[in-house]
Amino acid sequence: MMTACQNNENKTTDNNTDPKALSAQAIEVHDEIMPQISKFDKTSVKIDSILNGLPMSKDQDAELDTAAIRTELVALKSDIESATDGMMDWMRNYRLDSLDVTYQQSEVERIKLMRAEFEKVNQQIETKMRVYAN
């Protein structure tokens, strides 16, 4: 009995097996990502504006490949929406108070993958919007 209690204590002090520490880690990553959603929303509005103005841009520059621009911007907007929707789904379904270590570990991994997706989308925004927003 004493050994079982000691083993249990060891598990809760290790951040990889302490569900509360894992939960805190997931929330920390979440808190890194969330401020980007505002930027993503503003970028989606800018994309819509650019897409709506493409016919006028084509009138001003007949050589402009509006089909390629439209394809790139629609894909970027889709990536933005996918990242944002993924975060909203995660927040809606995440069980902060779960004491299931396996669940918390998988959620930490899941939110880290989301962070990587947000970084990738943010990089696309920086690159493409620099070109098309002018």
Residue of higher predicted confidence among 80 and 6: 80
Tell whether the model's pLDDT for residue 8 goes beyond 80. Answer: no
The tokens of 7 are what?
């083993």
C-alpha to C-alpha distance for 118 and 114, rounded to whole angstroms: 6
User: Residue 75's CB: how many other CB atoms inside 10 A?
Assistant: 12
Q: Looking at residues 54-72, what average pLDDT do you find?
A: 86
16: pLDDT confidence band, cut at 50, 70 and 90? confident
Name the residue type at position 16. N
Measured over the CA atoms of residue 26, residue 31, residue 36 and residue 37, the dihedral's sign is: positive
pLDDT given at position 14: 58
**CA-based angle 72:77:83, to the nearest 5?**
125
Measured over the CA atoms of residue 90, residue 93, residue 99 and residue 105, the dihedral's sign is: negative
User: Residue 36's CB: how many other CB atoms inside 10 A?
Assistant: 20
Tell whether the model's pLDDT for residue 32 goes beyond 70. Answer: yes
The pTM for the full model equals 0.81
C-alpha to C-alpha distance for 67 and 55, rounded to whole angstroms: 10
